[in-house]
């Protein structure tokens, strides 16, 4: 997350007084790479307390990201399974007290609606007769929920498109000698550099870079030039040892 640290020496030792910050290897491909993906987040969600409102914060992040993904396909009204929510926010149903889990989940959605983070939410054809049955919560996880997101958010997502020049850059392939790709892999391994680290520096997703090293895909012109620069030592980032 932090690319470098500047320190000032004094009699008591060194102390940090400045940071140079850039996206780390995990986020760089999504923020800077050819297939970058961004999702907006409500200011109200950022103000929630991390401990007391963890359900609200996680559900909101999931819904905003889902709205971003669905925007090009115009699938905003498609229902979402309760199990999808639970998996996405890394929560589990307590089999001893499943009612508490359901109540906390519904409370979080209602809080988001009250605060204007979402417009509304509703179960799609719920079967309330399951309540009281042994293991009823397993059926509850299959229930579907329709969530209405705020119109300004949907309008903003609808305007976000990948620039045409970027699309051309990704789709136009440039020949690169197989021995160069082999050299990249060899130098990366010898230098103790992971695929994810080098992919982050080159601005591509680690999975895409791994497929290039295995010869499954060819690099784009921009990536080919970056790989050649790295091999020839013209790149200052993650220089091979």
CA distance 199 to 210: 9
Q: What is the per-residue pLDDT for 8?
A: 67
Q: What is the per-residue pLDDT for 188?
A: 84
Task: Give every CB contact of residue 237 below 8 A, 6+ residues apart in sequence.
Answer: 201, 230
Write down the H helix ranges in the chain: 28-32, 43-47, 54-70, 82-88, 98-114, 136-140, 151-159, 164-171, 178-190, 195-202, 206-213, 221-231
| Residue among 96, 97, 123 at smallest CA distance from 110 | 123
**Is 3 in contact with 12 (CB distance < 8 Å)?**
no
Q: What mean pLDDT is predicted for residues 40-53?
A: 85
CA distance 217 to 174: 11
Tell me: pLDDT of 107 over 90. yes
pLDDT tens digits, 199-213: 878 877 777 888 888
Give whole-number Cα distances, 130 to 19, 81, 86, 94, in Å: 56, 17, 19, 17
Q: What mean pLDDT is predicted for residues 48-77?
A: 85
Q: What mean pLDDT is predicted for residues 173-188?
A: 74
Residues of the chain above pLDDT 90, percent:
25
Q: What is the pTM of this model?
A: 0.55
Between the ranges 178-182, 191-195, 203-207, where is the mean pLDDT highest?
191-195
Tell me: pLDDT of 175 over 60. no
Q: Which domains does the chain have, with CATH numbers?
A: 43-159 (no CATH), 163-231 (1.10.260.40)
pLDDT tens digits, 116-142: 999 999 999 898 898 888 889 999 999
Task: Give every CB contact of residue 111 below 8 A, 6+ residues apart in sequence.
Answer: 53, 56
Tell me: pLDDT of 106 over 70. yes
């Amino acid at each position: 997350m932090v690319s470098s640290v500047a320190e000032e020496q004094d009699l008591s030792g060194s102390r940090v007084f400045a940071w140079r910050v850039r996206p780390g290897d995990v986020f760089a491909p999504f923020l800077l790479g050819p297939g970058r993906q961004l999702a907006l987040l409500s200011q109200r969600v950022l103000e929630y307390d991390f401990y007391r409102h963890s359900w609200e914060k996680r559900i909101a992040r999931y819904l905003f990201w889902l709205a971003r993904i669905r925007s090009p396909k115009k699938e905003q009204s498609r229902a979402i399974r309760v199990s999808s929510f639970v998996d996405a926010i890394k929560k589990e149903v307590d089999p001893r007290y499943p009612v508490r889990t359901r109540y906390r989940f519904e409370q979080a959605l209602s809080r988001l609606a009250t605060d204007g983070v979402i417009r509304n939410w509703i179960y799609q054809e719920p079967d309330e007769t399951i309540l009281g049955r042994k293991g009823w919560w397993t059926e509850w996880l299959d229930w579907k929920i329709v969530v209405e997101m705020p119109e300004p958010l949907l309008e903003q997502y609808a305007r976000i498109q990948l620039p045409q020049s970027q699309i051309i850059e990704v789709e136009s392939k440039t020949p690169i000698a197989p021995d160069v790709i082999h050299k990249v892999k060899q130098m990366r391994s010898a230098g103790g550099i992971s695929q994810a680290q080098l992919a982050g520096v080159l601005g591509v997703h680690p999975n895409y870079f791994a497929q290039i090293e295995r010869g499954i895909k060819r690099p784009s012109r921009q990536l080919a030039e970056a790989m050649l620069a790295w091999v020839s030592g013209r790149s200052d980032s993650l220089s091979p040892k």
